Amino acid sequence: MGSKKKLRRFRENQTFDNLIQPDRDQVLKGHSDLSGNWQQRFGNKNPIVLELGCGKGEYTIGLAARNPVKNYIGIDIKGARLWRGAKTAIENQMKNVLFMRTQIELLDRLFAENEIAEIWITFPDPQIKYKRTKHRMTNRHFLKMYHYIMAEQGEVHLKTDSEFLHGYTIGLLQGLGHEILYANHDVYRNEGSPAEVLEIQTFYETRYLESGKPITYIRFRLN
């Protein structure tokens, strides 16, 4: 994407009521007013669902359209990508969708304990090299953070084209005593996956499928 186009999108992002861009330094200092106040922002008491690393927001939009009685927040650090999701939500007058430009590492400062009902992690970078373990979005540190912000009986969903990340996550969950509710190493060839796993696809997912890569899925609960 050209720099001029990015700049136009960044400027337009500033005008979107459904796109929140908290200041990192203020969040780290504990000066954010977001934590604990998300239901007030949506204007209802419906469950709140996060998509982490949402990119252009295709999955956030797809889930929100299917489940109007839930609130969705798509989170990514790339503003030019978030522009697409926020604009689509505005064009479709979707009141149960927000987007936030921030880092995943700040989740426990942006959301209160037990504030979130579900988390979706869709096609994250698997960070295969051992020295990149700390960046894997299902590592011990992130799982602990997710557990803190999630309500009792909350669920996490991982959908990925990485067989490595799928296997790593299952092994870690089992080792830590968490509850794996469902796992499928090839959702389009093996029956049983939920409709929202099969019927919502991102741009990159369609490319993975065209190349014959299996798509994996895990739904789990953190104990």
| Residues tagged active-site | 125
The distance of Cα 137 from the centroid of its chain, to the nearest Å, equals: 10
Name the phi and psi angles at 77, rounded to 5. -100, -10
Q: How many helices (H) and strands (E) does the chain have?
A: 10, 8
C-alpha to C-alpha distance for 122 and 127, rounded to whole angstroms: 14
Query: Both tokens of residue 112?
Result: 């209160």
Q: Please name which of 18, 38, 5 lies closest in space to residue 88, comparing C-alpha atoms.
A: 18
C-alpha to C-alpha distance for 142 and 194, rounded to whole angstroms: 25
Q: Taking the CB of residue 9, how many other CB atoms lie within 10 A of it?
A: 18
Taking only Cα atoms into account, the Rg of the chain, rounded to an integer number of angstroms, comes to 17
The distance of Cα 190 from the centroid of its chain, to the nearest Å, equals: 24
Q: Sort 160 into a burial class: Cβ within 10 Å, 0-12 / 13-18 / 19+.
A: buried
C-alpha to C-alpha distance for 213 and 208, rounded to whole angstroms: 5
Q: Please name which of 52, 124, 63 lies closest in space to residue 97, comparing C-alpha atoms.
A: 63
